[in-house]
């Protein structure tokens, strides 16, 4: 199942994420980039500012 960001405009120019699958461009849904769980967690930590918090507590 693919999910679009809640920040996605109604025009459809969005990045979608599929659990256990990866990411894709909503304009080219036939092609996706596989992303593992560790890489996805690291990405989310980085964009939400959690990476610095994890480093500060030694995780």
- Model pLDDT, residue 43: 84
Query: CA–CA distance from 21 to each of 4, 6, 46 (Å)?
Result: 14, 19, 20
Query: CA–CA distance from 53 to each of 2, 29, 32, 40, 44 (Å)?
Result: 29, 35, 31, 17, 13
pLDDT digits (tens, 9 = 90+) for 1-59: 888 877 777 666 788 888 877 888 888 888 889 998 888 888 888 888 776 666 666 65
Half-sphere exposure of 52 (CA within 13 A, CB side): 3
- Model pLDDT, residue 11: 63
DSSP state for residue 39 in the 8-state scheme? H
- Model pLDDT, residue 3: 84
Query: What's the pTM value of the predicted model, to 2 decimals?
Result: 0.58
Q: Where are the alpha helices (DSSP H) in the chain?
A: 37-48, 50-56
- Model pLDDT, residue 34: 92
Q: In the chain, what are the domain boundaries?
A: 2-56
């Amino acid at each position: 199942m693919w999910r679009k960001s809640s920040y996605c405009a109604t025009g459809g120019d969005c990045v979608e994420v599929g659990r256990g699958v990866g990411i894709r461009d909503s304009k080219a849904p036939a092609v996706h980039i596989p992303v593992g769980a560790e890489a996805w967690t690291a990405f989310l930590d980085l964009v939400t500012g959690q990476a610095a918090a994890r480093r500060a507590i030694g995780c």
